């Protein structure tokens, strides 16, 4: 069983508190050991990052961009090893893990090519007013277990591009691909610019309250995001919070089932449904309700469930035992209230945390499976009779990450989508994201954005320059 180490100040070091096991969700057994960092090691990582700020910020924009380009090159060279590591710790099929690495490369190259603009607000014969953007300082990245490599890239690369230094804290369930990412970055940046600390209990709280950290970018549950926000008040940390989502999709009447069923299925079951912006509630007009549900169930039955490293597997396990228990609980609760489970609906009788793709009908708002974010391989299909009522029900959630509307009349679909209370509104697609488009939620799904120029500027603080010109004689 391989041991891994922290990266602090450019050095690889063991954890002060020993190691903890990393579990392969396909077997339920430990396959590696991760260092358990201490609060003192977090302090050293923050100190190293702060000490490196001057050197990193003194480099030109071009030099920082060149460093990120070299990082992208190394990720690409080591893609196969990284993808296999993701499968072992997270569980997704190898093809999806390879896509995650490819996405990480693309996002890194995009960050390397981004410009940080200077806005000229006013220019007169006597003065010039410019808006500049300075690095925030030390950024802490706290990432979840569903897309461990990709989300770390989303957090770290724009932070570095903007001139900040970073302390990364990955989920204790999936820490290894992030450690490898930090090791790659550390080859190309001054010592202390990038650091990673891992641990099971208390380390996240120590980060959120740490006075040496200037900004936190956090992706995770709404409940944890609220704790991050409260703990960050001490030194008024800047925050970007991408929190939970219970994304609704509305299928308008007369939408061709065969044309969209596969895309809807993939949007709902992306990464075994373990994606914040996955489609989690599907509202279908009663005239097509049964046809849509059966079409989705047929696609679900065709999935090959198994270990992500096995050939032909299209659907991996749930990442951890707690999430598997929640998914099972929500489906059992719906079944007890009279719901019909068209396919799946039971944990597979084999080692690991396997739950097949599950389509549930006969449910409605007010039931846990509809109202709560299941974050797993289950999709409730809900009948509606009136589009206005479907829109009202879609917006009734306290969350507002994303939402979509599907229909052959794109103008009508966009008109409905524009009334969704969500940070992103998709038409005839769902969970589409790009490095050049800002992404973020509203309501209890968080605030701030990632990606694009707006996402890059989240890692800066504005500084206004008033430049007065001496009068000429």
So which residues are the catalytic ones? Answer: 242, 276
Q: Measured between alpha carbons, how far is 243 from 251 in angstroms, rounded to an integer?
A: 25
Q: Which residue matches tokens 């103008």? A: 411
Tokens of 60: 């030109």
Burial state string for 317-326 with b = 16 or more CB within 10 A and e = fewer than 16: bbbbeebbeb
DSSP class of residue 252 equals P
The beta-carbon contacts of 467-470 under 8 Å, at least 24 apart in sequence, are 467/127, 467/128, 467/129, 467/130, 468/126, 468/127, 469/125, 469/126, 469/127, 469/128
Helices (H), 168-271: 176-186, 203-208, 222-231, 257-269
Q: How far apart are CA 446 and CA 216, in angstroms?
A: 13
In angstroms, the CA 367 to CA 389 distance is 17
Integer Cα distance of 356 and 314 in angstroms: 11
> And the tokens for 473?
């004689």
d(C-alpha 200, C-alpha 382), whole Å:
39
Q: What are the tokens at 430?
A: 């769902």
CA dist 47 → 37, 276, 281, 457, 467 (Å): 15, 33, 45, 24, 35
Which residue has 């320059």 as its token pair?
Answer: 465
Tokens of 221: 């549950």
Q: Which DSSP letter does residue 436 get? A: T
Rounded CA gap, 71 and 58, in Å? 20
- Structural tokens at position 158: 């724009």
Residue 98, CB half-sphere, CA atoms under 13 Å: how many? 7
Q: Give one DSSP letter per residue of 269-333, joined into a string.
A: HGGGG--TTSEEEEEEETTTHHHHHHHHHHHHHT--BS-TTSTT--B---SSHHHHHHHHHHHHH
Contact yes or no for 469/125 (Cβ under 8 A)? yes
Q: Which residue's entry shows tokens 């006597």?
A: 126
Residue 32: count of CB within 10 angstroms of its CB: 18
């Amino acid at each position: 069983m391989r041991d891994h180490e922290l990266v602090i100040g450019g050095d690889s070091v063991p954890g002060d508190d020993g190691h903890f096991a990393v579990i392969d969700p396909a077997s339920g057994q430990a396959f590696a050991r991760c260092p358990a960092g201490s609060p003192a090691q977090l302090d050293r990582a923050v100190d190293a990052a702060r000490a490196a700020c001057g050197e990193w910020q003194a480099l030109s924009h071009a030099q920082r961009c060149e460093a990120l380009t070299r990082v992208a090159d190394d990720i690409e060279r080591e893609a196969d090893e990284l993808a296999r590591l993701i499968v072992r710790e997270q569980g997704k099929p190898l093809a999806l893990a390879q896509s995650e690495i490819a996405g990480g490369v693309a996002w890194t190259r995009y960050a390397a090519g981004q410009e940080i603009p200077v806005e000229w607000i006013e220019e007169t014969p006597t003065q010039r007013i410019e808006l500049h953007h300075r690095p925030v300082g030390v950024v802490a990245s706290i990432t979840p277990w569903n897309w461990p490599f990709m989300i770390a890239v989303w957090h770290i690369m724009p932070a570095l591009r903007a001139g900040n230094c970073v302390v990364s804290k990955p989920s204790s369930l999936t820490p290894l691909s992030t450690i490898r990412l930090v090791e790659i970055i550390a080859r190309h940046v001054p010592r202390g610019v990038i650091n990673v600390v891992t641990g099971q209990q208390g380390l996240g709280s120590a980060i959120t309250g740490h006075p040496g950290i200037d900004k936190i970018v956090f992706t995770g549950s709404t409940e944890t995001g609220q704790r991050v926000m409260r703990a960050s008040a001490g030194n008024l940390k800047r925050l970007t919070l991408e929190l939970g989502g219970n994304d609704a999709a509305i299928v308008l009447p007369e939408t061709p089932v065969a044309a969209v069923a596969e895309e809807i299925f993939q949007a709902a079951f992306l990464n075994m449904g373990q994606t914040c912006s996955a489609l989690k509630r599907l509202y279908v007009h009663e005239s097509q309700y049964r046809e849509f549900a059966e079409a989705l169930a047929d696609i679900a039955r065709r999935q090959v469930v198994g270990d992500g490293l096995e050939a032909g597997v299209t659907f991996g396990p749930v990442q951890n035992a707690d999430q598997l228990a929640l998914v099972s609980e929500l489906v059992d609760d719906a079944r007890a209230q009279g719901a019909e489970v068209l396919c799946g609906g039971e944990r597979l009788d084999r080692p690991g945390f396997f739950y097949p793709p599950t389509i549930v009908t006969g449910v409605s708002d007010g039931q846990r499976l509809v109202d709560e974010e299941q974050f797993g391989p289950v999709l409730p299909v809900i009948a509606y009779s009136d589009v206005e009522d479907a829109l009202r029900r879609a917006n009734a959630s306290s969350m507002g990450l994303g939402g979509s509307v599907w229909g052959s009349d794109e103008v009508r679909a966009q008109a409905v989508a524009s009334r969704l209370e969500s940070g992103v509104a998709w038409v005839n697609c769902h969970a589409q994201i790009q490095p050049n488009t800002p992404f973020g939620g509203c309501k209890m799904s968080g605030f701030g954005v990632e990606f694009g120029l707006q996402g890059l500027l989240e890692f800066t603080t504005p500084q206004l320059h008033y430049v007065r010109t001496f009068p000429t004689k």
